Amino acid sequence: MEHTTVEKINLKGRDFLTLLDYQPEEIKQLLDLAAELKSKQKSGITTNLLAGKSLGMIFENASTRTRVSFEVGMTQLGGHALFLSPRDLQIGRGEPIMDTANVLSRYVDAIMIRTNSHQNVEEFAKHSEVPVINALTDYYHPCQAMADLLTIYEHKQTFAGLKLVYVGDGNNVAHSLLAAGAKVGMDVVVATPEKYEVDPVIFEKIKEAAKETGAKVSLTYDPVEAVQDADVIYTDVWASMGFEQEQSEREKAFAPFQVSEQLVSGAKEDYLFLHCLPAHRGEEVSAGVIDGEHSAIYDQAENRLHAQKAILASLIK
């Protein structure tokens, strides 16, 4: 990827709700900028691109990587971030989304939301006067996918010809990985147990997007077949937030989908292992795999910071 500068990216004022809203070239520009900002930080170069700017961060769910990476990212860009839980906002007491969005967007320069309902984020963006960034909903996790793409490129130096295999729950991470592959021309296979598939409506949208880049996106119930010749293997927890009460039932359904040494033996010798964290060693992935030589989970977690800095710098006016 060639290094770029934020001035070359024409995304000011845009929302960042799903990668499906962005053109392939725009995503590549964001990745280029993320790589540039990461390089500058490692070299000790200050980039005050957002001096005097503020980010409102609304969290309905617990967070480690999302909160810290966004807050630190704004600080490194010269700006300021405000953590807002439902207890801090009237929206937690029933204030309409429309009112909260209208008011907050007159105070801050962008709003980041981590919530359960994707429809609520879309509603918020509809009434906000500043960019709204989806930091996780039940349908999509686009900021995580951007960090994933940055990590894959750093390790593989290309997207063309790569096969990424996601094994596990057909959740928001699976949706966003499929969308990411469709946008950058990387093949993606998602292997899930029956009854835990990706959303069929979302998958149809992704298949349409994949036509532009020629990426192959596919679904299967067979994890062994899926990981054959994989360049990247990815998994997530079996019971995401909001599904903890299904833990016992899911453990039975997902047992054959554990990313173990036996499962990954079908992948390429230089395969890369990714996990969005937090991870449950001994459940969705064996300790030998996640802590092994193929794992890049900490590079991946760090890249949340750099990918989100690129998003913030590009969208905030």
Binding site feature residues for L-ornithine: 172, 236, 240-241
Q: Pick the closest to residue 19 from 214, 297, 218, 206 (CA basis).
A: 206
User: Which residues belong to the annotated binding site for carbamoyl phosphate?
Assistant: 63-66, 90, 114, 141-144, 276-277, 304
Distance CA 40, CA 317 (A): 22
Joined together, the tokens standing for residue 316 give 């905030």
Distance CA 9, CA 200 (A): 33
* Identified catalytic residue from 114, 250, 275, 294: 114
Is residue 217 helix, strand or coil?
strand
Contact 197, 172 (CB under 8 A): no
* Identified catalytic residue from 144, 258, 300, 308: 144
| CA distances for 50 relative to 28, 309, 311, angstroms | 21, 10, 12
**Peptide bond preceding 278 in cis form (omega within 30 of 0):** yes
CA atoms within 13 Å, Cβ hemisphere of 81: 22
Please give the angle made by the CA atoms of 253, 259 and 265, to the nearest 5 degrees: 130
Please give the angle made by the CA atoms of 240, 258 and 158, to the nearest 5 degrees: 85
Joined together, the tokens standing for residue 146 give 């951007």
Q: Is residue 231 annotated as a catalytic residue, yes or no? A: no
* Identified catalytic residue from 187, 276, 306, 308: 276
Distance CA 223, CA 212 (A): 27
The residue written with tokens 């207890």 in the block is: 87
Q: Is residue 276 annotated as a catalytic residue, yes or no? A: yes
Instruction: Count CB-CB contacts under 10 A for residue 207.
Output: 15
Maximum Cα interatomic distance, the chain, rounded to a whole number of Å: 54
Q: Is residue 175 annotated as a catalytic residue, yes or no? A: no
Distance CA 4, CA 9 (A): 8
CA 230 to mean position of chain CA atoms: 20
Contact 24, 182 (CB under 8 A): no
Q: Is residue 114 annotated as a catalytic residue, yes or no? A: yes
User: Which residues belong to the annotated binding site?
Assistant: 63-66, 90, 114, 141-144, 172, 236, 240-241, 276-277, 304
Residues labelled catalytic: 114, 141, 144, 236, 276, 304
